[in-house]
Amino acid sequence: MQTQSLWEHTLTFFPQFLAALRERTAPDATVAVVGASDGKFILPLAAAGYRVVAIERDPLALHGGEVHLPGDEHAHALGLIDRLKLEELYDRVQVVEEDFLTGDPLDSPCDAVWTSCSWHYSANHHRPLAEFVDRMQRLVRPGGLFGAEFMMPVEQRHFLVEHYTSPEKLRRHFIGDWDVLLTLRTTEFTERAHVGQLQDHTHRMGLLLAARTPTMYRYGKKD
């Protein structure tokens, strides 16, 4: 890639999602990313040949602008749209600029959906975590893939907010026509300062990958 995301060096379970995507979907599958930001996951998916739906409401992430960096520095950051154009990937990505929790971003389900550390942001706490998960699940067609990495509680205040969750608690939302494929978690680790968090800080992260049961299996038979 010629360009680089502001989040390029933050820890991620995305490789595990990408491996499951390659195993379970077609090479040109459609993948929706909730909280697309400036394209850390969008550009690699598009470059790999997938059709991508990028859902993001933050104008700075989409269109770029001045950002405050560690060391009290300021810089102009490229947004998702400019990065896609520079990497000649714009035609492979549908950018949906709206609030995922209030809008209806897609006309039909996708082959897979992914989100990274989006529901723990305080801006999303006005709606229950169950609603966020349910809306993501409804983006996935039968037989499709659901992937989410998320912050787990570290500080005392986190334990009072349901949006800082765990793989065990998330499993409760994946009953019926869902099969949980993989859950992972980290121990506490120190992440270096980055945009939006200008001091070194401590995290715990979790991952849940699940597959939606194909329609032909829902009624106890295989066509």
- Number of DSSP helices (H) and strands (E) in the chain, helices first: 6, 11
Nearest alpha-carbon partner for 147 in 218, 49, 41, 74: 41
In tens, the pLDDT along 138-179 reads: 999 999 999 999 999 999 999 999 999 999 999 999 999 999
Q: Across the strands, what pairs with 51?
A: 30
Please say if the pLDDT value at position 222 is more than 80: no
Assess whether pLDDT exceeds 90 at residue 122. no
Closest CA to 29 of 147, 146, 144: 144
Q: Do the Cβ atoms of 6 and 43 come closer than 8 Å?
A: no
Task: Please state, in angstroms and rounded to a whole number, the distance separating the CA atoms of residues 119 and 117.
Answer: 6
pLDDT tens-digit readout, 80-100: 999 999 999 999 999 999 999
Residue 219 is predicted with a pLDDT of 47
Length of the chain: 223
Q: Which helix (H) or strand (E) holds 15?
A: helix 14-24
Predicted pLDDT at 216: 53
Amino acid at 30: T
Whole-number Å distance between alpha carbons of 173 and 146: 12
Record the pTM: 0.92
* pLDDT for the residue numbered 217: 53
Enumerate domains of the chain plus CATH numbers: 14-217 (3.40.50.150)
Tokens of 170: 């998330």
Question: What confidence tens digit (pLDDT) does each residue in 31-70 have?
Answer: 999 999 999 999 999 999 999 999 999 999 999 999 887 8
Provide DSSP, 137-205.
HTTEEEEEEEEEEEEPP-SGGGGG-TTS--HHHHHTT--SSEEEEEEEE---EEE--BTTB-S-EEE-E
Give the model confidence (pLDDT) of 6-27 as tens digits: 899 899 999 999 999 999 999 9
Contact 211, 143 (CB under 8 A): yes
* pLDDT above 50 for 223: no
